[in-house]
Amino acid sequence: MAKKALAVISFGTSYPEARAAIEHIEATLAAALPDHDFYRAFTSGVIIRKIEREEGIRIPTPEQLFEQLVAQGYEEVLCQSLHVIPGNEYDKMCAQIAPYASKFARLHIGKPLLWEQGDYIECCRSLLTHMPTLAPDEAFVFMGHGTDHFSNASYALAENTFRALGAERVYVGTVEGFPDFDYVQSRLRAHHVRRVYLAPFMIVAGDHAQNDLAGDEAESWNSMLRAQGCETEVLLRGLGEYPEIAAQFAAHLAQA
Catalogue the active-site residues.
145
Whole-angstrom distance, CA of residue 136 vs CA of residue 195: 10
> Among 39, 149, 7, which Cα is nearest to 91's?
149
Measure Cα distances from 4 to 75, 118, 128 in Å: 6, 30, 37
The strands making up 195-200's β-sheet, listed across from edge to edge, are 170-174, 138-144, 195-200, 231-234
Contact between 121 and 165 under an 8 Å Cβ cutoff? The reply is yes
Dihedral class, residue 146 (left if φ above 0, else alpha if ψ from -120 to 50, else beta): left
Cα end-to-end span (Å), the chain: 20
